[in-house]
Amino acid sequence: MTHLTTAATDVGGATFVSRLLGFFRDILLAKYFGTGATAEAFVVAFRIPNLFRELVAEGAASAAFVPTLGAAQTRHDPARWEALVRTLVTTVALLLGVAVVGAILAAPWLVRLLAPGFVRDAAKWELTVTLTRVLLPYLWMMGLVAVTTSALHVLQHFRVPAWNPALMNVGMIVACLVWVPRVPAVTGMVLVAVSILIAGALQIGLNHAALWRYQVRLRPQLDWHLPELRQIQRLLLPRLFGAAVYQLGVLLDTVMASLAWIVGAGGVAALYYANRLIQFPLGLFGISMATVSLPTLAHQAARQELDLFRTTLLVGIRSVTAVMLPAMVGLCLLAQPIVEVLFQRGAFTVASTQMTSWVLQWSAVGLWAFAVTKLLVNAHYALHDTRTPVRWAAWGLGLNVVFNLLLMWPMGVGGLALGTSLAACIECIGLWRHLERRVGPLDRTAWWTSLRRVGGASVLMGGWTWGAWQMVTPSGWGLGCVVATSVLVYLGLARWWRAEELAWFVQRLSKRA
């Protein structure tokens, strides 16, 4: 537990800073672009490369690269392992280069597919096509980052890759502060897109420098006879398909949100801002735990240490539950003041706040399921089981479509968020039950004890949060005080109930202090 939680804390610390920078970035985007046509054009244009970044950084690619690179590192000498890394980087660069060029040429058709509602607005549609073409090279960059990040994870080096996402936020912040106020809105958004490409190049450079410290020299190399390439191909394609099914659910929400005559104008941007707030707790510890647990789970599965495998997985689930449950309660209760304080200024109006907070409340319903599903998917991948995650991801996509169609008419864009949350909860339960049939049941006594303690503390914290907000003056300072005291109340209650999931966190802070 100490190894995982220590690494997760390191990754989570970098993620925390990145998320803070991301909040500042989104505050600036909301101020200058609000939920208007320019903002919606950017959200749709960035959807493909950003979803690919999430796919390769947090899911399918790392789940295929890490086990193979880890096994190769234990079997072969460093020179052979370095040759494998070089070949992977070169292969990915060539394949994605061709794909990106094709996507740039097909950009108008991609926009029609992703946002059919934009066709009614010629200016918005043309801007979306332009931004899509500018941003697609970021997809190629993230492919290279995925391979080098996986190599660093195999070397048990998590810190540099964890800081990479912060570079994109810094680049966009600089663009918003320096360029956007001085040029028309459309030009300013194009410059924001250019800043993302600059950040992508810097991410490649940082990973390259980190590998250099381990005496890994990257240069073009192709060796088609390496058996690991065939193994990666067998592992990667099903994983990419499974992860792509999940990402299709995100794209589906974007497509339906573009239908402004059903969900209301600004729905695409509202989904984006709400998702950014959901990603803060999810990325801070949920994705961090899934990332650092994968190498350990892969090694334990390879050695058939199923008892340790179950223990490692349950530690991850209990840890993310201890963070996600109170986060769910807090986001549901404070959705409107959070959105108002963070975003409501400039072009981001009161109507924008109401729509975004409505989406945020229903997105928070699925926060725990989003985090635990990532752990369960990685656990299946560590067992070289690619079919189960794909099957349940397909079920989740189908349920997402059904729930969205049922809920978008009475609830607007909030129905899309609730539909995604409900589908994620069902998918999570299905993955959990299948995994227990494969490796045996997790320690149910420990799990239910943990859930009672963490759940009870979260409910009582929610009572405090609601009461405290009624007593303070609505403002940024008032919201900050309510959030800070709610965290202290939760930590105090969890410690009183002896919740083990938070003990390591307190110890870690004490050691750093």
pLDDT in tens, 295-314: 778 778 878 888 888 888 88
Domain containing 282: what range?
2-442
187 inside domain: yes
pLDDT computed for residue 66 by the predictor: 67
In this structure, what DSSP letter does residue 509 have? H
Indicate yes or no: pTM above 0.85. no
463 inside domain: no
401 inside domain: yes
Please state the separation of Cα 232 from the chain's center in Å.
Answer: 23
| 373-385 tens-digit pLDDT | 888 988 887 887 8
461 inside domain: no
Residues in the chain: 513
With vertex at residue 300, the alpha carbon angle to CA 297 and CA 302, rounded to the nearest 5 degrees, is 105
pLDDT computed for residue 160 by the predictor: 80
| CA pair distance 294, 281, nearest whole angstrom | 20
497 inside domain: no
Q: Assess contact for 149 and 207: CB atoms under 8 A.
A: yes
What is the percentage of the chain residues whose pLDDT exceeds 90? 25
496 inside domain: no
Half-sphere exposure of 441 (CA within 13 A, CB side): 6
Q: Assess contact for 493 and 340: CB atoms under 8 A.
A: no
> Number of folded domains in the chain?
1
SS3 for 303? coil
| CA pair distance 318, 299, nearest whole angstrom | 21
Residue scoring higher pLDDT (77 or 384): 384
pLDDT computed for residue 308 by the predictor: 86
261 inside domain: yes
226 inside domain: yes
| 244-295 tens-digit pLDDT | 665 677 777 877 887 766 777 778 888 888 888 888 788 767 676 776 777 7
pLDDT computed for residue 282 by the predictor: 81
Out of 375-379, 422-426, 498-502, least confident range: 498-502
Sequence-ordered strand ranges (E) for 175-329 = none
